[in-house]
Every structure is written in C-alpha cells, then in structure tokens.
Amino acid sequence: MKILMIGGTGLLGSQAARELISRGHSVHSIALPPLPEGALLPPEMTLTLKNSNDMSDEELREQFAGVDGFVFAAGVDERIEGPAPIYDFFKKYNITPLERLLRLAKASGVKHAVIAGSYFSYFAKKWPQL
C-alpha cells in the first residue's frame, strides 16, 4: 500500500513508518521542519518538511492522490503546556487538523486511516504511580 503520514519524524511516526516499510508498504511523510536532531528515520521513507496545517486543501489533495492509507502521528500531547482552557489548545492542534485531513483523505479515495495517539496517556493510566 501507499501510505501518507503526517508526523513521520517523531517517535511514534518514525517507528510506524519503519514497521510499515518492513511490511512492504511505501511511506511518504509530511512533518514539521526542521528535521529533529538525531532522528532515526527509515531511509526508504520520503519526506516533505512542511506544516500540513499551513497547506491548502489543494496541496493536501495532491499529496493524497493515489494513497491507500493515511496515518496521523502528529499534534500535541500532554508534554506541551498551553494556555487555559487547555481543551481549546488541543482542539486547535489535534482535533481540527485531523477532521480536515480525514475529510480530504476520504474525498481522495483513501480507504484506511490510523490515528497514533500519545503513549504518555496510555502509561499514565497503566502506571499512575509513576
């Protein structure tokens, strides 16, 4: 499958890309510049360093052309402190962009989508004492 990923240079995205590529898929990622120092990215992954939130719908439709799957591995998590009420901050950077991207992906014929959420939330629930 041909996969478009938003956020392929972070921990979750880069590992997801590595796994997808090892299973025979091709991965193109759009990620925020600059490239993180020391990022261990799979060399087979193609990369566009650009803020997807700043891209027009037409630019994103071009990226979704011929794509079978979409992975969202971007946004902010609980490591980022934003202004109160924090819900507005998370909505601006996580929910609103994802709604837009999923709408464009569906309209472009993308059949599969994955949302990679924060592992911090998972471990906070699993081991609250830590």
Quick: pLDDT tens for 86-125: 889 889 988 999 999 999 999 999 999 999 877 666 777 7
pLDDT at 119: 67
Give the domain range for residue 117.
2-126
CATH value at residue 8: 3.40.50.720
CA distance 102 to 94: 12
Express each pLDDT in 48-97 by its tens digit: 999 999 999 999 999 999 999 999 999 887 777 888 888 898 899 889 99
The answer to whether the CB of 19 falls within 8 A of the CB of 41 is no
Express each pLDDT in 42-52 by its tens digit: 999 999 999 99
Mean pLDDT across the chain, nearest whole number?
92
pLDDT at 21: 98
What are the φ and ψ backbone dihedral angles of 10, each rounded to 5 degrees? -85, 180
User: Does residue 7 carry a pLDDT above 80?
Assistant: yes
One-letter amino acid of 19: E
pLDDT at 120: 67
pLDDT at 79: 72
- Into how many domains does the chain fold? 1
